[in-house]
A and B are shown apart, each in its own frame.
Chain A
Amino acid sequence: MNPSKSTLRKYSGLLVAFFRASAMADLEYRLNIVMKVFTDIIWYVAQLSVFEVLFKHTNSISGWTLESMRVFMSVLFLVDAFWMLIFQENLDRFSDKVRRGDLDMVLAKPVNAQFMMSVQKMSTPYLVNVVLTFAWMIYSLTELPGGFEAARLLTLLISVPCGLAIAYGLRFVFSATALIFARAENIVYVWYQLYRLAMRPDTVYPPWLRYLVLTLLPVGFIASVPTQLILGLQTLSFLALAILVAAIVLWLSTLYWRFAMRFYSSASS
């Protein structure tokens, strides 16, 4: 068998196994599942309420109407739901795993350690959020006054994974800093603030900040660019750019991981 094909098969199998094990663990606490989904619904309502209220006082914000802003929020929620499902729990516990020596166990396994540290524990309750946010996105698109080109939805198949990859790569760098400084929880709070920049369309920001969120800190690709692609506000060349940026961010995250691993001297380092 082709070595790259067998590697792909091995890692796909691992992903499925992780998902199954996580689902079994999550199902032990069913009330917790309900509360997690409920909490996120409150968060969605809170985020939507900002623009619902603002658009009571204006018809447009930097070229965005209420209907197009709803699409933007739905794409943001969709990416966020995937993020919570796959990466959130792993990267939130990254620092603890380093401190307690769990990383030693991961390094001893015959798989890529970055992969294991990033996806070993999935938060399966968020599968519900993926369904809910996707339904909300379809509803938002059907509410657009001029309709939308259904074919443009296909761009999501590439732009959403790219947005997710960019979010992962950036967040991973913050988490991997725990290898250099044993306690890096507060650095992660900086990431949460940077992520807030992704929660508004990039056109809202002043030119210098807009340039920043599309280049050095490419959080604009998480939701803003995918939304503009669906709405036809950006050319398809931005899709190619999203792929390129995602590839660069992932590559840099791996480089940083290797660099940070040099500082790791086993448990409690």
Chain B
Amino acid sequence: MIQPFITGLIEVALWSAIFTSTGLMSMNGFPRESYLAYALWAAFFSRIGSNWMYEFRMIDEIETGSVNSVLARPISFYEYYLGQFMGYKLITSVLSLIAPILIVAVISGPTKLERLPLAFSLVMYYLIFVHTMSFIVASFAFYFNRVSSFTMAKNIGLWMLSGELFPLDLAPEPFRGWLLAMPFCNAVYRPVGYLTGRLEIGSIVDGFVSSTLGLVVIAPIAVMIWKGGRRRYAGTGA
């Protein structure tokens, strides 16, 4: 609960300073309040769209050999952790919604709360893509002794491309085009942009399409790495 409050506070301070020190009334066509609301919601959505805990657990299962107990069940390792991950994210997200809603109400930031269900749905769909990425990283534990740094590299990369640091429409071309074409902006930029009125519904549709395309690309890679890893695995821990 405290995390999004502090993150939001820092981002609001930064954006306030930018507008105060420059005397600008708007940037890239959007007013100060729009940026404040974006910063707050971005801090909230960014937490939903990342996977640390379950990825570390998946890696640990493979490294220690306790993955055997999952393999013996009538459910795949992928599905077993997908179910846990999605359930955890759903519950914690709903519970922590109170923080951004309260702060946005205090600063009178532009937020179209009726858009929240669709924005939230996009992030939840994107989480399948995130989980598949985690599955790939965890599968590397069959091949290497230590893969926790892979998790760090992947998550920081995703965070950088998600749009939490700044609204991606501020990025110069051609980076802006590249960032928006990839599925990673479905974690923060697209849902928050839609929620705060920067973007319209077409962008959400694009988000579902890019997440699907992302899945189509990485799913075969995930299957290949997992199957290759299983062939090497001796059942006593990687």
Please report the C-alpha to C-alpha distance between residue A61 and residue B19 in the assembled complex, in whole angstroms. 8
Interface string of A53-86 (1 = CB under 8 A from B): 1101111111100000000000000000000000
Q: Which of B1-57 contact A (CB under 8 A)?
A: 2-3, 6-7, 9-10, 13-14, 16-18, 20-22, 24, 27-28
B135 within 8 A of A: no
Q: How far is the CA of A62 from the CA of B13 in the complex (A)?
A: 11
Contact B2 A46 (CB under 8 A): no
What's the nearest-Cβ distance from chain B to residue A71, in Å?
18
Chain A residues lying within 8 Å of B20, measured Cβ to Cβ, are 62
Q: Size range of the interface on A?
A: 35 or more
B165-A46 in contact (CB<8A) = yes
Assuming the contacts A35-B153, A42-B156, asked whether A190 and B17 have C-beta atoms less than 8 A apart, the reply is: no
Tell whether, in the assembled complex, residue A200 and residue B153 are in contact, meaning their CB atoms are under 8 Å apart.
no
Residue A36, interface by CB 8 Å: yes
Q: Which residues of A contact B160 (CB under 8 A)?
A: 42, 45-46, 49
In Å, the complex CA distance between A187 and B156 comes to 22
Q: How far is the CA of A61 from the CA of B16 in the complex (A)?
A: 10
B3–chain A nearest beta-carbon distance, Å:
6
Among B148, B149, B156, the residue within 8 A (CB) of A46 is B156
Binding stretch for chain B, among A2-10, A99-107, A168-176, A201-209:
A201-209
Bound Cα distance from A54 to B170, whole angstroms:
8
Is the CB of A181 closer than 8 A to any CB of chain B? no
B24–A42 contact, CB under 8 A? no
B152 at the interface (CB under 8 A from A): yes
A29 to B149, CA, bound (A): 11
Beta-carbon contact of A200 and B149 below 8 Å: no
Q: Chain B's nearest CB lies how many Å from the CB of A53?
A: 5
User: Contact: A204 with B13, CB < 8 Å?
Assistant: yes
Contact A193 B3 (CB under 8 A): yes
Residues on B lying within 8 angstroms of A by beta carbon are 2-3, 6-7, 9-10, 13-14, 16-18, 20-22, 24, 27-28, 144-146, 148-150, 152-153, 156-157, 159-160, 165-166, 170-172
- Contacts from A to B (Cβ < 8 Å): 29, 31-32, 35-36, 38-39, 42-43, 45-46, 49-50, 53-54, 56-63, 189-190, 193-194, 196-197, 200, 203-206, 209
* Inter-chain pairs besides A46-B160, A59-B22, A193-B6, 19 sampled, C-beta below 8 Å: A32-B146, A35-B150, A35-B152, A42-B156, A49-B165, A50-B165, A53-B171, A53-B172, A54-B166, A60-B22, A62-B20, A190-B3, A190-B6, A196-B6, A197-B6, A197-B10, A200-B13, A204-B14, A209-B13
